[in-house]
């Protein structure tokens, strides 16, 4: 029986007891104990011999053990010293596996450089290699991990992650929904987001207090290409949704008061036929991209003149 096939509650309890450790709530350590769910997540990743997989939150290595059997290489990251040691003991014999003991994030806006370096090294082995992100993510770092990977230039091809259900619904929310916001627009402008399965607390040990979901993201290259400056767009959606219920014109005038006059902001809005009562929360991602591009051009033209 492989490591993955023993991913049951009783086995995990015995394994952790053997190492004298307990799951840490502060690190979001809630382990999947339903083998069917683990198999479902990995199957949805469509792993193959050209795939480099990033996993954040190695845990006991239950999902990792499945993925090393299918992928070219798995890079798995674990911040907890005890869990990293356990996973190393369980999985260290796999040649196509890199176990990193560190925080996957340098800060909320960037991956740790070492993680990016290892991924780039593995991707460089063969030009046909592509990156996939497959993980049971700790709730408290799920947003920056997904958002930051989209922000990189890495050739990611698919993400299949377990996250808090509420977050999954926010990622996939559309205009007019209360959950639609900066994260929704940022991701959907560049990717197709879908909640694949809702997960009750009972499929985890220890049980979280909320429902979770398996969420899939697939790149939308055409949408990404439409964004003139991704850094500008990222900043734009973040700031414009801070005041989501205010009228868009007043929000933009305040955001770009140093770069654009009110008449110039009005010109941009008029060119897009956006009326005086328009709010950011009403605009779909492609329209927000167009507005961001026009504002960027206006700022550049005004600065040059």
Instruction: Report how far residue 216's alpha carbon sits from residue 150's, in angstroms, rounded to the nearest whole number.
Output: 13
Q: Quick one: 135 and 55 in the same domain?
A: yes
Last residue of a domain, one of 187, 221, 255: 221
Closest Cα partner for 280 from 211, 185, 198, 215?
Answer: 185
Neighbouring residues of 79: CB distance < 8 A, sequence distance ≥ 6: 27, 101, 102, 103, 104
- Tell me the percentage of the chain whose pLDDT exceeds 90: 85
21 confidence band (pLDDT: 50, 70, 90): confident
Domain that holds residue 245: 230-304
- Name the token pair of 279: 């709010």
Q: What is the residue-averaged pLDDT of the chain?
A: 94
Tell me, yes or no, whether 271 and 161 share the same domain: no
Same domain? 85 vs 168: yes
- 145 burial level (CB within 10 Å; 0-12, 13-18, 19+): buried
Q: Which of 163, 191, 221 is the last residue of a domain?
A: 221
Same domain, 240 and 258: yes
Token couple for 114:
């070492």
Residue 303 has pLDDT above 80, yes or no: yes
pLDDT confidence bin for 6, thresholds 50/70/90: low
Report the CATH number at residue 267: 1.10.8.100
* Same domain membership, residue 101 and residue 136: yes
Domain identity same for 65 and 102:
yes
Residue 213 CA to residue 199 CA, distance in Å, equals 5
Give yes or no: residues 238 and 208 share one domain: no
225 against 206, higher pLDDT: 225
Q: What's residue 229's pLDDT?
A: 98
Same domain? For 46 and 168 the reply is yes
Tell whether 76 and 124 lie within a shared domain. yes
Predicted local distance difference test score (pLDDT) of residue 179 = 96
How many independent structural domains does the chain possess? 2
Q: What is the mean pLDDT of residues 12-41?
A: 88
Q: Domain holding 131: CATH number?
A: 3.40.50.150
Please give the pLDDT value at position 132: 98
* Final residue before a domain boundary, out of 193, 221, 249: 221
Give the global pTM. 0.93
User: Same domain for 168 and 242?
Assistant: no
Give 209-256 pLDDT, tens digit per residue.
999 999 999 999 999 999 999 999 999 999 999 998 899 999 999 999
pLDDT for res 1: 35
3 band by pLDDT with thresholds 50, 70 and 90: very low
Q: Report the C-alpha gap between 7 and 13 in whole angstroms.
A: 10
What is the per-residue pLDDT across 134-155, written as a single tens digit (0 to 9) for each? Answer: 999 999 999 999 999 999 999 9
Q: What is the pLDDT of residues 78-109, one digit of tens each?
A: 999 999 999 999 898 999 999 999 999 999 99
pLDDT per residue as tens digits for the range 43-59: 999 999 999 999 999 99
Asked whether residue 178 falls in the same domain as residue 249, the answer is no
In a shared domain, residues 180 and 139:
yes
> How far, in Å, CA of 181 to CA of 131, rounded?
27
Place of tokens 């991704």: 230
Q: What is the pLDDT of residue 16?
A: 86
Rounded CA separation 93/27 (Å) = 26
pLDDT of residue 4: 47
What span, in angstroms and rounded, lies between the C-alpha atoms of 243 and 240? 6
In sequence order, the 6+-apart residues with CB closer than 8 A to the CB of 105 are 111, 112, 141, 144, 145, 148
Per-residue pLDDT averaged across 5-24, rounded? 80
């Amino acid at each position: 029986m492989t490591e993955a096939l023993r991913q049951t509650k009783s086995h995990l309890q015995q394994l952790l007891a053997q190492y004298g450790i307990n799951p840490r709530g502060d690190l979001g350590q809630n382990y999947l104990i339903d083998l069917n769910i683990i198999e479902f997540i990995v199957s949805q990743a469509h792993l193959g011999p050209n795939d480099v997989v990033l996993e954040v939150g190695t845990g006991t290595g239950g999902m990792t053990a499945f993925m090393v059997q299918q992928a070219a290489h798995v890079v798995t990251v674990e911040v907890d010293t005890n869990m990293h040691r356990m996973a190393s003991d369980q999985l260290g014999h796999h040649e196509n596996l890199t176990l990193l003991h560190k925080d996957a994030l340098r800060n909320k806006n960037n991956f740790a450089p070492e993680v990016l370096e290892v991924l780039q090294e593995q991707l460089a082995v063969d030009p046909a290699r592509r990156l996939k992100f497959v993980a049971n993510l700790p709730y408290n770092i799920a947003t920056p991990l997904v958002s930051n990977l989209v922000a990189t230039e890495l050739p990611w091809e698919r993400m299949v992650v377990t996250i808090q259900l509420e977050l999954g619904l926010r990622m996939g929310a559309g205009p007019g929904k209360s959950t639609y916001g900066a994260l929704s627009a940022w991701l959907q402008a560049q990717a197709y987001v879908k909640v694949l399965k809702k997960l009750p607390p009972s499929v985890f040990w220890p049980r979280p207090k909320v429902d979770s979901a398996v969420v899939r993201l697939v790149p939308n290259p055409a949408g990404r290409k439409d964004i003139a400056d991704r850094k500008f767009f990222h900043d734009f959606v973040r700031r414009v949704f801070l005041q989501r219920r205010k009228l868009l014109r007043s929000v933009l005038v305040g955001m770009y008061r140093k770069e654009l006059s009110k008449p110039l902001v009005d010109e941009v809005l008029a060119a897009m036929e956006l009326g005086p009562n328009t709010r950011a929360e009403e605009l779909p991602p492609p329209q927000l991209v167009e507005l961001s591009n026009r504002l960027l051009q206006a700022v550049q033209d005004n600065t040059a003149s």
